[in-house]
Chains A and B, each alone.
Chain A
């Protein structure tokens, strides 16, 4: 009898204790050891900083056919369509010098001072033909691009605005992901009739610039 009572009590005790421990561990499993005090924020496309635009300034030399070479400065805005293609809109300012004729004849002026102001704008399509890396040290490399570019626009020079085609190539070195330097050569072509007969004027631009991605 005594044995039976003991058995009954022990059984319920053991069962109860077991249940208690089970529920206790169950409760512990539900709760992480350290409660996070931040709620997770979903990552959406709008939160990612997209840097497809690039804005820059350049300075160089523009050889204006018949009118000497001049200091050239300007700016450009680039939109990268893909890893290979980009759109570029640029403006440039220079000043035409004197023709050989004006120098030899002395007191002759083919153009007035304001007509010698040279400015252009163009819209171009570029292609990164050779993406690459330039290795500065063993552990440090800059990303680079060799690109071809061509487009059309207008040149305001010698009193008129003329349709202008341009084509060229350049080499860009990305100092960081947001800042780049480049050096480029561009040939500008337009028809001009200031010195008598109409002809194609070829103007070579060599420039170097700095740009920022945003």
Chain B
């Protein structure tokens, strides 16, 4: 069935080659324009400040220099920022994958009273913008004595309703018979989760992981509220802090930006197939 569809589809999408060429050219130009800011960032990071100030119109550096990188490494604790970002992202992602698949499993595979209203409540909390609860959350974190600690970013993020929703959609697709079989074999609820649900949930885990990791890796608002010390900042916050401290040092600012973004882009390019597949799945559910 699946194969037949594909055959029909490919025949169907066949177009005259000149249209394809026009589309291809259009996409190429569009993509090049999309890349302009990134390339500009990289070029600027290799300019000297003297060049930026004197001749602000040159796109490529007349002389490639590492001056900006040197200042950046000296003045910005990028190592700390990188470590904090990685630590928070990894810890939150792992915790969220566990909690959301577990809660999703309960909603997807168990029957109980109030299941529908509880799930609706869950979905409703998804709609609350984080700015609405920002002040109370800040006050609560302050009262818990977690301000300026990584825990301030980890603890409130341990349960993600969006991820629960995604997990539930995937778990519902796992045949009940598999769970029943495991149950007959004597597995408890946790056993079923571990031996049946999790192994069948790899694509979902990918999706949830990518969404959660990207959200926390790129988060700016929460670190901005919760962290003060320069050494404790995450990369996005550190970048803004650095640029506000040295607003006239464009080369160094762009050097920090390049050091933050280029490794991410490389990792993405290496794993883009898995990445895009994981994302695409979330939209299909």
B and A form one assembly: no
Instruction: List chain B positions with a Cβ less than 8 A from chain A.
Output: none
Instruction: List chain A positions with a Cβ less than 8 A from chain B.
Output: none
